[in-house]
Structure 1
């Protein structure tokens, strides 16, 4: 990502402390021609080592909501750049050099299990030894929008307070909109693509929120240059908890942000199947509806007790969004059948209304 488009928090956050810590990265590529989406989740827990939860993992939510996971217990084979978006974890290899970013050709030849990812590359290979189910992937990324207006310096997703150790966890959308060109080999089913919609974000801290939902899409039927990220969650603040929400919409280079400092946010989210969210401020109104009849799948997320299945996802959600000026003039209305819909944490025994 060009320096002008690199978001805050793109670098690795661990400061060498032996206190509980995780950092996780999420890359996604959507393939409308196949009606599929692939989400790649990379994480490192307690990188100082010799802790109960020390280690790394790569998870993939793939075609038809299928799931694949590989753990990497050796934290010494994990590496990340503190100044920009670069990271990787090596599994089997005969290389004797320190883990680092490799030429993609050398990586494919020398790293038998593992991944490497930057702002412009996502590459790796993992396999489930129990059934030999595998995924091999390599694609180049062209970043378009980070978090903010396209031609202005990019913003911290959680605002300037995210630079201070106040909120847990931290969260940053790294790339709201981009394109990906390359391939994904999903256990013998090879998807080759050019300029497919791509997305990335990250989290870091002690554990994921107590409870949250997530709505995300940058592959809409009516609009190419449109990307949505919306969340609600209960997070820690100085040991206390608070309920927060955020909606970010990138449309034709302009960024529309709805957060508690400038907007009124409301939502009604079912334990599964229905997500509704609205944001209002003095200039704009946005309404989002997400639905799914898919059962989705569970993925692991960092908790105080290490990686746990506390997150339910589908990448084939139906999303409708409508953005208007406050006086009623419609700016954009769009739909998708390839949206990301998620709930996490506990309990989800009833509708969450805020």
Structure 2
């Protein structure tokens, strides 16, 4: 476990730590952790958030949401912001509900957490643990470790997903992929069913800020049957830049030790996203071309996301979407990669989904 922690610390991505600096203005920070079980075709997505952590507003409080087996949904809120903790120098956070602990909230050893915390969670870059239940009788317990493989960027230099300017208060909200690919081992008990796993694909990202995206889409997969060393994330949205709104998108691939990045400052990125069911994103930079197609005929599952008026059901998700990704050399047209999966995360969120959303230059 210590060697895994040292590995995680050695390539920690920018923005891994908690961003709140004590301000009383509107603020949220959210974390997303996805773990895929290819053997049974299930995914568990853990979503944690904290709103207005200074307290005293109608939106102050935290939440833990899980999109679990068979895309069932569980949500628990934690109204007391004083029971939330997070590290500012690296990835680590947690929120306690009912507990027997006499100390201030913070990271506990796994055994101590099990004894002292009746309801809550704690997360680091290499360990995840928690227990939740709701009034309907749904319950979940989990404990697993993660071996990080890819952060965001090449092996020698981790990058900000939104570029170097994301360190400045220019873009709202901020977005950072914390771990494009890792391997998770442990167990989850979901409504009485126990899922044990060893070296299952894992993923992590976060967002934060005081403003909220109007509209977005997202595609993610790191469980490609024929290409185990492949991780894909693509996304786009309407974000605020110094008070102006702009539409941007990106595609990132980690494949066999190399990072292929298509972002507004180094590539032309195009998209055509339906309100639900079809996602198409394609891009080219100086050296490569890429095309990503996502599809689903499943009904979406609604999940809550931070908004200007607190957590609201403003996001549609599936964790069992179909995705294909193709990558070519631009100069020669030589194919580098062609892969597909039925275990993709697909999402549309926000407002304004009355019609197909096309990028301004997707002709």
> Same fold by TM (over 0.5)?
yes
Q: How many Å apart are 1:177 and its aligned residue?
A: 0.4
Alignment match, 2:351: 346
Residue 317 (structure 1) aligned with residue 321 (structure 2): yes
Distance 2:157 2:187 in 1: 31
Distance 1:245 1:4 in 2: 29
What pairs with 1:20-59 in structure 2 (closer than 5 Å)? 20-59=26-65
Q: Summarize deviations over 1:60-85 as a string: whole Å, max 9, x none.
A: 00111110000000000000000000
Alignment match, 2:3: none
Alignment match, 2:153: 148
Alignment match, 2:234: 230
Question: 3-state DSSP class of the match of 1:196?
Answer: strand
Q: How many Å apart are 1:2 and its aligned residue?
A: 3.0
Which of 93, 99, 119 does residue 93 from structure 1 map onto? Answer: 99
Q: TM-score, normalised by structure 2?
A: 0.96
Q: Summarize deviations over 1:99-126 as a string: whole Å, max 9, x none.
A: 1100111111211110000000111011
Question: 3-state DSSP class of the match of 1:34?
Answer: coil
Alignment match, 1:136: 141
Total equivalences in the alignment: 352
* Aligned 8 A contact 1:4 1:153 in 2: no
Question: 3-state DSSP class of the match of 1:7?
Answer: coil
Which of 204, 207, 222 does residue 203 from structure 1 map onto? Answer: 207
Question: 3-state DSSP class of the match of 1:16?
Answer: coil
Distance 2:92 2:270 in 1: 36
Alignment match, 1:218: 222
Distance 2:152 2:261 in 1: 10
* Aligned 8 A contact 2:211 2:240 in 1: no
Residue 83 (structure 1) aligned with residue 83 (structure 2): no
Distance 1:94 1:282 in 2: 58
What pairs with 1:1-354 in structure 2 (closer than 5 Å)? 1-129=7-135, 131-149=136-154, 151-326=155-330, 327-354=332-359
What residue ranges of structure 1 are gaps of 5+ in the alignment?
none
Distance 2:189 2:153 in 1: 33
* Structure 1 consecutive aligned stretches of length 4 or more whose deviation exceeds 2 Å: 1-4
Question: 3-state DSSP class of the match of 1:286?
Answer: strand
Question: 3-state DSSP class of the match of 2:158?
Answer: coil
Q: How many Å apart are 1:245 and its aligned residue?
A: 0.6
Question: 3-state DSSP class of the match of 2:181?
Answer: strand
Question: 3-state DSSP class of the match of 1:76?
Answer: helix
Question: 3-state DSSP class of the match of 2:9?
Answer: coil
Distance 2:147 2:129 in 1: 15
* Aligned 8 A contact 2:230 2:253 in 1: yes
**Residues 106 and 47 of structure 1: is their aligned pair in 2 closer, same or farther, counting only changes over 3 Å?**
same
Q: TM-score, normalised by structure 1?
A: 0.98
